Amino acid sequence: MVRQVSYFVDEAFNSETYESCKNVQFPAMGDTIMGLLCGPWGSAGCTPQKWWTYLGTESNGYSPFEIIYEYGDKNSVSVDGFNYHSNEIDACANAPSYADKAGYSGCKCADCPDACAKSDVPDLELYDTDILIWHFDSGDMKVFAWYLFGFIAIIFVGQQLRCIGDYFIQMITKFFTLWGKIAAQYPKTVIIISVLIASGLSIGMVKLEVTTDPIELWASPQSRSRIEKDFF
């Protein structure tokens, strides 16, 4: 069984890969994808080597074995005689350099600053106008209007809530008064029915299975990563 793999990689290849991916957004975390893929360092403290170090750590729950990265220059050879792997990196704004690019495109402006064009930034014209109403400019009138609207809205909502609150209190009082009388007259029946209802609603817990393994939650059994993990 494979326990550990050493990967001799060009340092520039590592850095260019990181630069191409570091700005991809991850809405679920309100952060970039590096907030998830860089482990304990997060997106703020992430670097190219920290990123790959976490991806190659078996403790992250995804790597099937420990991957040790040895960095160097692609034009040199390691002490053990290994070449440092390198490959062409596509900028995030460009489509992948596959033989067939059909259906592929580069990252959008939200995930790649290099993809942002000047047309993506709105060109707003500034107007220097000043409207006076009774010697008050438009800004003062807006503030006064908002305060007046808020005051009237608070009074109106308060009156409505008071009426609605009184109505609900009366209805709740009547309901629990009736329920109390029924429970006092037929205590055994009420207890038996309550236990039956609670048992019926809880019967599904017999077959409840809680899945906490992130691999089972996020990786499809037919995915390449799962197949390789099961193999190794």
CA nearest neighbour of 11 among 112, 61, 85: 85
pLDDT at 142 over 90: no
Between CA 44 and CA 56 the distance in angstroms is 20
pLDDT band of residue 62 (cuts 50, 70, 90) is confident
Mean per-residue pLDDT of the chain = 81
CB-side exposure of 57: number of CA atoms within 13 Å?
A: 12
pTM score above 0.75: no
pLDDT at 139 over 60: yes
Q: What is the mean pLDDT of residues 31-52?
A: 88
Q: What pLDDT, on the 0 to 100 scale, is given for residue 98?
A: 64
